[in-house]
Chain A
């Protein structure tokens, strides 16, 4: 509700755990993979997505219906959590959910860059972050990238975007702007975080997220062969890499995996890391990293049950579910085989 008053982890965690139990499991995914979009929508109607499917069913159909229902449900679930949480717990959750603000800003910028109509951009937004409706509205109304930046004055993204704008004008690609948004989000993630027994795990998780993001960026750069310095994409705050080390590790994925295996994540991630080493494609590698982060967050929730960790682990699991269903629906539409679709999923 607000950031004042005492926090109520018991209440929030009880509800979140119940919702976590209602997520689709492996068996459901296996069924989904064999269904067409219409059947998936029907299956979703009998689950927690009932309200969204019913509300959107008259206007959309097929994969669009599934996708909009997923986005809307995701936003609703996360807004619910913010509604329940009080005090410090609210602050800790909101801090993490700001990543949807970052997503919305990036979507708006991309929409303008690609000249996409406003309605299309609007359906891609996930209104689960901290921006209120008015700011989101201004974001949508902007017709130039400069207007987007103006509408973000007073938020954590305003200044970094303004600084990156010159780079964008020079190069004509969106990378500097998107990078500025990401960095603004991750830098604010750890800023002013009060660490005690209850938030210790939370900080560990945020470190892990930053570390994994760094590893992924380094790998992408290494594979793309582009002549860009990886340290430009470096997000400070993690524990595993320094900017200089990352540039070096970006040259060889094997060394990167060894580095992660020797780190504090090694024990928990050994099985995922084996997969990582076997994965020959970048997509497989990234998928394994995501699975590793998901597994890590899941284990954190058990260490300190009355902290924010179970909530974060639910947020991740829910996001994954949404992305899995989207991948299945899109894969079916594109005519991929069942095996190909299953390779796209992250299932624990």
Chain B
């Protein structure tokens, strides 16, 4: 059985009739990267947002600071968008 393996592999590799390419399309990979970055930003904002709302509940004058700190992780997504232009 082991003797047939190389042949089997050749058949599998040439199945789509083209030479070997990347596992997924470049644009799909970029989309994945941006999506994961957005996920990270969301997770970071979860904690900061909870703390900010807590602080604002005690002292309303902290609203602006709370808002700024909450949206700071959003830069992660903006930086990840650069990937789109590299593709």
Interface residues of A (CB under 8 A from B): 8, 10-15, 17-19, 84, 306
B51 engages A18 (CB within 8 Å):
no
Q: Does B64 contact A (CB under 8 A)?
A: no
Q: Could you show 14 A-B contacts with beta carbons less than 8 Å apart?
A: A8-B50, A10-B54, A11-B50, A11-B53, A14-B54, A14-B55, A15-B54, A17-B55, A18-B54, A18-B55, A18-B59, A19-B58, A84-B54, A306-B47
Segment 29-87 of B: residues with Cβ below 8 Å from A: 47-48, 50-55, 57-59
Q: Say whether B58 contacts A11, CB under 8 Å.
A: no
A13 contacts B51, CB within 8 Å? yes
Q: Which of B48, B51, B57, B58 has the most CB of A within 10 A?
A: B51
Interface Cβ pair total, 8 Å cutoff? 32
Tell me which residues across on chain A come within 8 A of B58, comparing CB atoms. 14-15, 18-19
What CA separation (Å) do A17 and B48 show in the bound complex? 15
Q: Measuring CB to CB, which residues of chain B are less than 8 angstroms from any residue of chain A?
A: 47-48, 50-55, 57-59
Chain A interface secondary structure, helix, strand, loop or mixed?
helix
The answer to whether A10 touches B59 (Cβ under 8 A) is no
* Chain A, residue nearest B58 (CB): A18
- Contacts of A14 on B, CB cut-off 8 Å? 50-55, 58
Chain B residues whose C-beta falls within 8 Å of the C-beta of A17 in the assembled complex: 55
Distance in angstroms from A56 CB to nearest chain B CB is 24
The 10 closest A-B pairs by CB, nearest first: A14-B54, A18-B58, A10-B50, A10-B51, A14-B51, A11-B54, A11-B50, A15-B54, A14-B55, A10-B47
A8 to chain B, nearest CB (A): 6
CB distance from A310 to the nearest CB of B (A): 12
- B55: chain A residues at CB < 8 Å are 14-15, 17-18
Query: Apart from A10-B50, A13-B54, A18-B55, what are 12 other A-B pairs with CB-CB below 8 Å?
Result: A10-B48, A10-B51, A10-B54, A11-B51, A11-B54, A12-B54, A14-B50, A14-B51, A15-B55, A15-B57, A15-B58, A18-B58
Write the nearest CB–CB distance from B15 to chain A, whole angstroms. Answer: 47
Bound Cα distance A300, B63 (Å):
28
Residue of A with least CB distance to B57:
A15
Q: B48's closest neighbor in chain A, by CB?
A: A10
| Chain A residues with CB under 8 A of B51 | 10-11, 13-14
Q: How far is the CA of A19 from the CA of B55 in the complex (A)?
A: 10
Select from chain A the residue with minimum beta-carbon distance to B54. A14
> Complex formed: what's the CA distance from A111 to B54 in Å?
40
**Cα distance A11–B54 when bound, in Å?**
5
| A13-B52 Cα distance, complex, nearest whole Å | 10
- Within the assembled complex, what's the spacing in Å between the Cα atoms of A14 and B47? 11
Q: Which residue of B lies closest to A306 (CB)?
A: B47
Q: How far is the CB of A52 from chain B (nearest CB, A)?
A: 18
Q: How far is the CB of A291 from chain B (nearest CB, A)?
A: 27
Contacts of B57 in A (CB 8 A): 15
Bound-state CA distance A19–B58 (Å) is 8
Bound CA–CA A12/B57 (angstroms) = 11
A15 and B55 alpha carbons, distance in the complex (Å): 5
